[in-house]
Structure 1
């Protein structure tokens, strides 16, 4: 599943540069994760880097966007082939 940043985000700028998929960007009020680009770092790292750098733990797995590891990997391969990363 893709990740999601909650409204409690303090815009500390830690997550955006860590995202290898460039899925994180500033939204209207807080950072947002584009679920079409988020692979939970599958294809790059063992764990999502944004989760590890968030100082206040406001990044969660999006319950509305359930994806298994194979699906996330397929998305990663597609993004790499499309040069969107």
Structure 2
């Protein structure tokens, strides 16, 4: 899962431009992620303000 910290996001669009699967959208200053996200973490690594975080879900 990728968590978007909207209080930190500056809506620059860097993550949208770097997503290899085009799963992020920036519409009217609102960043959204669609359900097809592969959780590769590229967007979180490239975010200049650290507004994205990859949280790995562990199954027992």
Superposed CA deviations along residues 9-51 of structure 1, whole A, max 9, x for unmatched, are: 10111100111121100145321212x111112xxxxxx1111
TM-score by length of 2: 0.71
CA contact (8 A) 1:4 1:32 kept: no
TM-score by length of 1: 0.54
Which of structure 1's runs of 4+ aligned residues deviate more than 2 A? 27-30
How many residues are treated as equivalent by the alignment? 57
Equivalence map 1:66-81=2 (5 Å): 67=57
CA contact (8 A) 2:25 2:33 kept: yes
Say if 2:36 is the partner of 1:37.
yes
Unaligned runs of 5+ residues in structure 1 are 42-47, 69-85
Say if 2:20 is the partner of 1:20.
yes
**2:54 matched to which residue of 1?**
61
Cα separation, partners in 2 of 1:32 and 1:4, compared to 1, 3 Å: farther
